[in-house]
Structure 1
Amino acid sequence: MTFGRALVGALLLTVAGCAAAFTQGLELAGGSLYEGTGLAGQSQLRELDPVTGAVRRSVPLPRQLFGEGITVVGDRIWQLTWRDHVVLEWDRNTFTLLREVPLTGEGWGLCHDGGRLVRSDGTNRLHFQDPTTFAETGSVAVTLDGQPVTQLNELECVDGQVYANVWQTDRIVRIDPGTGNVTAVIDASGLLTPEQRSHTDVLNGIASLGNGEFLITGKLWPTTFRVRFVPR
């Protein structure tokens, strides 16, 4: 199924909240919007006001780690790194780094389906991780009409399905994690004006608001959009 998009509102974020952020992960939890940002030496974990985009607090990643996707699990936040072979566990309340866990391969996107973590690594595979130890418990190959879908990036787990940004495209795919089959393709092109687009990087960042609504943004985007996906 191919989805277009129905824009039900645009949430304009402050420069500090978005335009200066190389967004890698986005998730709404408990009335706060959590964001992981990337680039070596510039990566952060941030808490934003979901209405204004103002940064409530932030903490830099240690050393020169290149941050990637994040997800909230209770009073903890897991944050991937790209090629540093480590995943970070933060205390959600204090933004204190609790530990670094070794990671085999690359880290791209991350979400929590309520029972396990789902991780992407830029390939066509979704990896399943234990939410307490981060040990890998399995994986599934993602396909569309029998063909592999690669470059799976930022993830959002919603109602038993996984939404994934496809890197370097304006597409988001909805995946059945049980089979790996893509069940919908979402066209997210045209959200920014051509002038805005020339100063930004790729689409990357999706957070569920519930009731079929999402926030979507990109790396260095000046705006986060509140959308509902509708069949074309």
Structure 2
Amino acid sequence: MRLPRWFLCNAAALLLTLAPIGCMAAPVSGYKVVAKYPHSTESYTEGFFFLNGLFYEGTGRNGHSSLMAIQPETGKPIQQVDLPAKYFGEGIVDWGPNIYEWTWQSHICFVYDRFSLRQIKTFTYSGEGWGMTHTPTELVTSDGTATLRFRNPETFAETRHLVVRDGKEMINELNELEYVKGEIYANIWHSDRIARISPKDGQVLGWIDLEGILPEGQKVDQESVLNGIAYDAIHDRLFVTGKQWPAIFEIKLVPKTK
């Protein structure tokens, strides 16, 4: 996640990344790539969603953070607003006519009019900002731990939280989020896996193993990790990308091959 911090990965996250996939309690799916779309290798992806035919992307790093509405066919932004250099942009989420974009350690969430990307207000919060998505009634946020926090969309105040586990194993480093068919999908920082999480109790319902989807030779550096999940609910399409990746992949879930 964020500026190069791979040396700060804790033991739990490292074990999750390195452990054989068969060791996880929840079932594992593989993937099939059905389409590819261009993606700027300048974009340090922190937030990602699909709405009304466009990708919306929030990018990070101080001095490079922005919110963009992107044409899928070209990978070019048709609208963009840049954050002041002191802010490190993080997850984004749509709510009604607005888009929220929060920040890593500045405790500021910007609220924009979705149609003009004009900033209309801000929220404050405690802790770090990582990923964001929403259920039909609540915002859902991650902060780099195993905890997901549910928030009132009107006030950004926390209403409840849950700890994510696969069986008894706590799943740390929850990153970019997406709400898909009643489940919360979560990237795990520095992992090629996406967790499918129950919003009721935090249990991992399944894993998506995306190992090999982008060849190592196409990654900029160690921080070019999988981080970006978007879902087109109208056409039942699932998209994934990563930090400074050259492509967005539309995928279908398939049985995991051994």
TM-score between the two structures when normalised by the length of structure 2 = 0.85
Aligned to 2:230: 207
Q: Which of 155, 174, 177 lines up with 1:152 in the alignment?
A: 174
CA distance in 1, matches of 2:40, 2:239: 13
The equivalent position to 1:168 in structure 2, one of 190, 196, 199, is 190
Q: What amino acid maps onto 2:225 in structure 1?
A: V
Partner of 1:95: 117
In 1: Cα distance, 2:52 partner to 2:154 partner: 20
Contact 1:4 1:229 in 2 (8 A): yes
Aligned residues of 1:212 and 1:229 also touching (Cα < 8 A): no
Q: Is the 8 A contact 1:213 1:229 kept in 2?
A: no
Question: 1:189 Cα deviation (Å)?
Answer: 1.4
Residue 10 of structure 1 pairs with residue 32 of structure 2: no
Determine which of 64, 71, 91 is the counterpart of 1:69.
91
Which deviates more, 2-11 or 179-188?
2-11
Post-superposition CA distance 1:153-189 (Å, at most 9, x none)? 0000112110000001111000001010000111111
Q: Match for residue 51 of structure 2?
A: 29
Larger strand fraction of residues: 1
Partner of 1:217: 241
- Percent sequence identity is 39
Q: Following TM superposition, by how much is the alpha carbon of 1:51 offset from its aligned partner in structure 2, in angstroms?
A: 2.5
Alignment length (residue pairs):
228
Q: CA offsets, 1:79-122, max 9 Å, x none?
A: 11001111111111111111121111011000011110000000
Deviation, 1:198, is 4.9
Partner of 1:226: 250
Report the RMSD for the aligned CA atoms in angstroms: 1.3
The whole-number CA distance in structure 2 between the counterparts of 1:164 and 1:231 is 19
1:168 aligns to what SS in structure 2? coil
Amino acid at match of 2:232: L
| 1: CA distance, partners of 2:186 / 2:228 | 9
Residues 108-127 of structure 1 aligned to structure 2 (within 5 Å)? 108-127=130-149
The alignment status of 1:130 with 2:152, answered yes or no, reads: yes
Which sections of structure 2, spanning at least 5 residues, go unmatched? 1-26
Runs (5+) with no aligned partner, structure 1: none
Contact 2:219 2:244 in 1 (8 A): no
SS in structure 2 opposite 1:18? coil
Q: What residue number does 2:7 align with? A: none
Q: Is the 8 A contact 1:77 1:89 kept in 2?
A: yes
1:57, CA displacement in angstroms? 1.4
SS at match of 1:68: strand
| Superposed displacement of residue 128, structure 1 | 0.2
TM-score by length of 1: 0.94
Alignment of 1:190 onto 2:190: no
